[in-house]
Structure 1
Amino acid sequence: MAPEKIIIDTDPGVDDILALLLALSASAEEIELLLVSLTFGNIDVENCLRNAVSLFHVLEKELAWREANGKPIGYESLRKYKPILAVGAEQPLDEQLLMADYFHGIDGLGGVHSKAPNFTPENVFRHLFHSPSASSAEIPPDAPTPLPNECLFTPSAAPAYLEILSQLKSNPPNTVTIVAIGPLTNLALAAAHDPETFLRVKEVVIMSGTIDMEGNVTPTAEFNSYADAVATARVFALTSPSPRSTVPPCKSLKAYPETLPSKLNLTIFPLDLTTMHLLNEAEFNSLTGPLKEQGSPLAQWSNVFIHATFRKMESLYAAAAGESVKRIQDVDISLHDPLCVWYMITKHLDGWKAVDDRDIRVDATGQWTRGMYVVDRRTRRKPTIEEMAGQEEVEGDCDGWLHPAWGNRVRQMVESPDRDKIGGDMIRRIFL
């Protein structure tokens, strides 16, 4: 069986790191991770790079520890394919920068770099990466290349959106899936730069938005969608038979061509689904605690930021209940981002269910509803193309919600197989 070729576009905080670990720990027949492209999001892009490099640094230590202790080495996908790592967008397209460091901490990983500094490599690789804000004078002309041959990633000096296009161009059409688990700025930049190449993608799978649940940063918006609503709306517009019907104004990017070779195949994992997939603290401790005591670098490193997240959730539970913060015995964290990677590994299994061709639009300009996923809850019938007979809009309908050739065509994932087992299954794959 040929592996799923994927690109992961990410702003590495806690659940992003778990998603990356899940992909890298897959078998060589399940996942071929071509590229990890970094974007701002939970934290600034510099901290995202430090977190990503630290992840590979810890995995080098982990694989050596497993081999030295006679344990199954695992991580076949990582050891066989060695992904590219590229730095991308520092800020949203047309909007004010928002970060979620209030939740994951200013480093995105619950203070792991100060609490466990032995797992953070020195900043010796930085000059090997694209740096949008650095001048050439800041990079010494005789800078060494201290990247060991056994390093588990390949650094890129190109911006992430160009690396995305490069991977799509160098692989056959409809063979590479992009899994986007942060703001969609890199994807929007790639699509604007070369829409024909971008539409060679097999599928774009995103953790973004909410349909029927409350938002997690505003009453109506989920963080990734809110953080760059213009980028989200521009990516969604590529699913439409008429992208101009939903694409928002954007000062920094040009409009899409009138005709495109195909529509984007977009699958969304909104909060409605991801919130229900949980990692329980007691189960996490039972599976990783012994490994931590035995000296596993990965277990020791990840315990720092995962337990910081459990404590954060504990305080939120207590605040929601109107109580002072106290010890809660059974705490869960939602596996928002890992669920997208889990889908890539297990999509062949029965139990995944989706609603196809939903006209979901993203509010890119609303004062109170920026980043909101808007759906038409009216029960009016949509006429056929023939019935429209050249009309631009259906009578009494604004913005083309009932026009058969307008609007987006999004696939919304609504159900997964064995929801209650996924948290434990993921942890076993990553750590055991």
Structure 2
Amino acid sequence: MTNEPAAGEAALLEEGYRRAATRLIPFLVFLFVLAWIDRVNVGFAKLSMLSDLKFSETIYGIGAGIFFIGYFFFEVPSNLLLEKIGAKKTLARITILWGINSILMAWVQSETSFYILRFLLGVFEAGFFPGVVLYLTYWFPAQKRSQINGLFMTSFAIAGVVGGPLAGWIMSSMGGVLGHANWQWLFILEGIPSVLAGIAVLLFLPDRPKDARWLTPAMANAMSTRLETEAKANAKEHNFKAALTDWKVWFCTLLYFCIVSGNATIAFWTPSIIKEVGIQGNFTIGLVAAIPFIAGTAAMVWNGKHSDKTGEVRLHCAFAALIAAIGLAATGALIGNAVAALLALTVAAIGILAAFPVFWAMPQTFLTGTAAAGGIAVINSIGNLAGFVAPYTIGLSTQVTGSSSSGLYVVAGFELLAAVLLFSVGKIAAPAKADTAAAH
């Protein structure tokens, strides 16, 4: 391999990356779409579940957010386990268990059972997203990761595009079938595919390039060698305990908390916000809810691709967070005007979703190995506590004031803080320069 001409090695690597992206990304996107739908379908179930079970907006806000408490406690152990036993076993276990838990949500009868199952959903899903982020570092070098992350993270938006109309259809057409309410069918029908997908993970997902039957041995070896060389050349942190003392890990954690607050808001509250602006009918709400996520998908892919092209990450994330802040604040201010509020919500989704792929390119530039497994999980688990704070804040705001506006202002403030921090700090870390053999 080392005796091959640079141009030949570059061609070999590019073909390997192309095959990996083609084979892995669609499957991982499909898995995350299932995970995201099962995580946030409670937002659609809420449209009739609350009245059926006599739950308040605050109870819903706590239940929606308590998912992230379970997520927080089990995120780091799950990712460290992935580093030891591999992605196939870890992601299969996660997918099957969250699918079963989602199905059981159909039999929630009390506030306590609602909280317990939402907490357990977080426990079971813990490690999936950071696990995939870590898994992709086993396949792609740093200068490709913003774009690769962007392609994978279109799953956020695709879940919104697919999940909204699907949930709307189930809620509109399945009520009363076999004696179950529409929201019960929502949990059942959207949980079963996850169990089946977990079995597919065991059958089809390779752990690393050397395990992929669709790569030649030369491609797999070149890809592995490229990543090993990159890690040594950039002196990345390998030790998890040492990573915990790195200010960049904690800076990224604070940034992610702010960014996730916006994502949790559009995930759990978009159906309610759409209903609040005057749009009626579950299926119609589902269709309209897809609009912000369609726009966010395009923004996510473009921002990740442009970041890789320019080699710049920090400002791409900062401007996205600023757009998110403006969009969320405008949604709160315009909540009484349906068209304007939906336009503002779409702007918010563009900024929120565009921030994710470029954000995750940052910690991957200074962490590798066990440090990456643990560090990425720490950032994701603590940052995702915003997924508890934001829904609770908006739920409380809605119950006290009758409108979600003040809660949206709070979340907009978090996004603004992320933008200010990113504009203020110097370079955190730059994507590794491609070597001559892999530069094309």
Q: TM-score interval w.r.t. the shorter chain? A: under 0.3
Higher strand share: 1
Q: State the structure with bigger RCO (CA 8 A, min sep 6), 1 or 2.
A: 2
Higher helix share: 2
TM-score (norm 2): 0.23
